[in-house]
Structure 1
C-alpha cells in the first residue's frame, strides 16, 4: 500500500535508539549524530520506491556526510512476512551497494513507532540540536526513478540545515510502501 507521512513537526526531538547494524556494530543516536545534524532514513530491501532511488540516497548521504550530517538507515519491516527484509538480506544489500552509512535493524519496531515512520523511504532530517527540520521526499521520483535533473529536495533541505540549523518551510512529503508491521493481534 502506498502511503505518505505527515508533514514536518519542526524541532520535534529525535528519539534515541540502540540498534544492531549490518556491519556487526551497535549504534545509538549519539554515534550517528554529525556536527551539523543527522539524517535517519527508514527504508527496506524490497520496496520499489526505495530501490528506484537507492543510488541517489547513497549519493546524497555521501555528500551530506561531507557537510557534517550524520546518516543512518533503519529497516523495521517484519521479516517473517517480507523475507527480503531479513537481517541477512540487509547485510547483503549493504555490502553489495557499499552503503556509506550504518544500516540498522529495528526488529522490535519500537524505534519506527517512536519516530512515527509510515513508509519506505521515510526521511527524518535533524539539526545539530537534534530538532526535526525536514520530513520530506528525496526528489520527485516515485516507484521508478525520475530524470537525473530532478531537484534534490532532501539534499537541498539538509544542506540548508547544515548551514543554518533550519529546514525549509515548504516540504513535499515522501511517498512509498507502508512499513510492514508485525501482526500484534
Structure 2
C-alpha cells in the first residue's frame, strides 16, 4: 500500500541511536553527518519504489559528500512478516547496490517511530545543527527506473541546506510503500 509522509517540521531535531549496520558494526545515526548536514533515509530491500530509485539514491549520496552532507539509510520493516527485509538480505541489497553509506537495521522500530517515518523511501534532510529542513521526495520519478533527466529534489534541497542552513519552503512529499509495522501486543 502506498503511503505519503507529512510535510516538513522545520527545526525538529534529529534523533540519534546506535544501530547495527550491514558491516556488522554498530553506528550512531548522527555520526554519519557531514559538517553541513545529514540525510536520514528510511528504505528497505523489497519495496518497488526503493528498487526503482536505488541507483539515484546512491548517486545523490555520493554527490552530496562534495557539499559536506552525510547520508545514512535505515530499514525498519518487520522482517518476520516481510523476510525480504531481513538483516541478511539487507547485506545483500547493500552489496548489490554498492552503498557508499551505512545501511542500518532498526529491528525494534523505535527509530522509525521516533522520526515518524511513513514510507519507503522517506527522506529527512538536516542542516549542520541537526535541524530538519527537508522532508520530501528524491525526484518526480516515483517508480520509474530510467528517469535520469528529472529534477533532483533531494539533492538540490540538500545543496541549499549545505550553503544556507535553510531548506526550501516548497517541498513535495515522497511516496512509497508504507513502513511494515510489527503488531504491538
Normalised by the length of structure 2, the TM-score is 0.98
Question: What is the aligned partner in structure 1 of residue 52 from structure 2?
Answer: 52
More deviation in 123-132 or 19-28?
Answer: 19-28
Please say if residues 76 and 105 of structure 2, whose CA atoms lie closer than 8 Å, have aligned partners that are also in contact: yes
The offset of 1:100, in angstroms, is 0.1
- Indicate if the aligned counterparts of 1:140 and 1:146 stay in contact, CA closer than 8 A: no
Partners of 2:82 and 2:148 lie apart in 1 by 30
Match of 2:97 in 1: 97
Q: CA RMSD in A?
A: 0.9
How far apart are 1:30 and its partner, in Å? 3.5
Structure 1: gaps of 5 or more residues: none
Cα distance between partner residues in 1 of 2:94 and 2:67:
22
Q: Which residue of 2 aligns with 1:140?
A: 140
Once residues 141 and 95 of structure 1 are traced to their aligned partners in structure 2, the CA distance between those partners, rounded to angstroms, is 24
Question: Which residue pairs with 2:177 in the alignment?
Answer: 177
Q: TM-score, normalised by structure 1?
A: 0.98
Q: Identify unmatched segments of 5+ residues in structure 2.
A: none
Q: Deviations over 1:15-50 (max 9, x none)?
A: 111100001221113321110000000000000000
**Retained in 2: the 8 A contact 1:48–1:144?**
no
Task: Give 1:144 deviation, angstroms.
Answer: 2.4
Offset of 1:147 from its aligned partner?
2.6
Conservation of the 8 A alpha-carbon contact between 1:21 and 1:103: yes
Q: Name the SS of the counterpart of 2:169 in structure 1.
A: coil
2:29–2:72: 8 Å Cα contact kept in structure 1?
no
Question: Per-residue displacement from partner, 1:67-89 (whole Å, max 9, x unpaired)?
Answer: 11110000000001100100000
Q: Deviations over 1:104-150 (max 9, x none)?
A: 00000000000000000000000000000000000011222363211
CA distance in structure 2 between the partners assigned to 1:113 and 1:74 by the alignment? 12
Runs of 4+ in 1 over 3 A off after TM superposition: none
